[in-house]
Amino acid sequence: MNYKSVADLNRDILDWMSALPKDIDTVVGIPRGGMLAANLIAFYMHKPLADIDGFLEGRVMGVGARGMYLDKKVYNRVLIVDDTVFTGRAMLEAKQKLSAARKDCAFIFAAPYIGQESAALVDLYYQVLPVPRLFEWGIFHHPVLENSCMDIDGILCRDPEPKENDDGPAYREFISTVPLKIRPSVRVKWLVTSRLEKYRDLTQAWLAANHIPYERLLMLDLPDQATRIRLGSHAPFKAKMYAETGAVMFFESSHAEALQIARISGKSVICTDTGGMVFPGDFAAMEKAAQNIYQVFKGRVKQFLFSLARRMTGARRRG
């Protein structure tokens, strides 16, 4: 899976800036993903910004006062931006609409990410990104969810606070009333949670009340929270379900658990807390890095103690 986070997009656009024309009058984004990329480019270039319909109607946001609209007649060289071009449908529609309405403009069509087969549809691009590919800003509306596992707490809703996590009345209240955080627009194949099986009815009621589209709910079948903590079952259970279902992706909020799920399952995990993708080798790499840091720290402590002992010995001899 070729994955790009919002942070990746920002870094890539910054790297791309030197290749983009400096003489454009404004930046126009193709809704909706293209507006994110266009907004970043417009900010860095300090140029006016619009969406396609807004541009054609004269609703162009200036670089000064918020909400300032400028005269559309002053724009002759315009950068049209989408976040990605794959089939090219959105880009072709934009070309047809713009060329028919504004024959007086020179349009430059661009996208940071394209498929090799769609290179001819743009004038400028940053990177060829083969399929399968996935973007952080579109993950909750992507068909990949139809064959993915997703955690509940931390993604669909917030995690419980310590006072709510009593495996009793406070926890039941949390499950029943916690506000919705994100609602996927595509059905999730498997919701995989370390919530205990005894909370299935409350969890299903909350999912129904918040109109969460999903196919199956997989829960941890243990008697109580104390047993779950003693066994350390959170990540191993999720990794086991990830492997057994044959899902193509797992969405996990906790970075620490994402690392363990990836290591145990041998498959990549998207961590929503960091916005990045975690790979199976990342856990081992972090362990090695931690060991290296420990060895360096231990060596420096030994050097400091040795140096201190020498100074103290010298001081006693002088005394």
**Each residue of 29-43: pLDDT tens digit?**
999 899 999 999 999
With respect to residue 76, please indicate whether it lies within any of the assigned structural domains. yes
Say whether pLDDT at 59 is over 60. Answer: yes
Whole-number Å distance between alpha carbons of 218 and 176:
18
Whole-number Å distance between alpha carbons of 43 and 1:
30
Whole-number Å distance between alpha carbons of 111 and 51:
15
Residues 156 and 114 in one domain: no
Band the pLDDT of 295: cuts 50, 70, 90.
low
State mean pLDDT over 51-60: 87
Which range among 105-119, 134-148, 286-300 shows the weakest confidence by mean pLDDT? 286-300
Residues 147 and 272 in one domain: yes
Q: Give the CATH number for residue 124.
A: 3.40.50.2020
Predicted pLDDT of residue 91: 94
Work out how many domains the chain is built from and give that number: 2
Residues 208 and 122 in one domain: no
- Cα dihedral 172, 174, 175, 178, rounded to 10, equals 160
Q: Which of 54, 10, 12, 46 is nearest to 26 (CA)?
A: 46
State mean pLDDT over 257-268: 96
Whole-number Å distance between alpha carbons of 123 and 110:
6
With respect to residue 294, please indicate whether it lies within any of the assigned structural domains. no
* Extended strands (E) in the chain: 2-4, 26-29, 49-51, 77-81, 84-85, 106-114, 124-128, 133-135, 148-150, 188-196, 214-220, 249-252, 269-271, 276-278
> Among the three residues 75, 98, 133, which one is the final residue of a domain in this structure?
133
Which range among 17-21, 65-69, 215-219, 243-247 shows the weakest confidence by mean pLDDT? 65-69
With respect to residue 160, please indicate whether it lies within any of the assigned structural domains. yes
State mean pLDDT over 229-244: 95
Residues 122 and 199 in one domain: no
Predicted pLDDT of residue 188: 98
What residue numbers bound the domain in which 231 lies? Answer: 142-282
Percent over 70 (pLDDT), the chain: 85
Tokens 């790297």 belong to residue = 15
Residues 176 and 276 in one domain: yes
Is the pTM of the predicted complex or chain greater than 0.85? no
With respect to residue 77, please indicate whether it lies within any of the assigned structural domains. yes
Residues 171 and 95 in one domain: no
Q: Give the CATH number for residue 260.
A: 3.40.50
With respect to residue 303, please indicate whether it lies within any of the assigned structural domains. no
With respect to residue 309, please indicate whether it lies within any of the assigned structural domains. no
With respect to residue 296, please indicate whether it lies within any of the assigned structural domains. no
Quote the Cα angle for 145-149-153, to 5°: 105
Predicted pLDDT of residue 60: 83
Predicted pLDDT of residue 66: 54
With respect to residue 291, please indicate whether it lies within any of the assigned structural domains. no
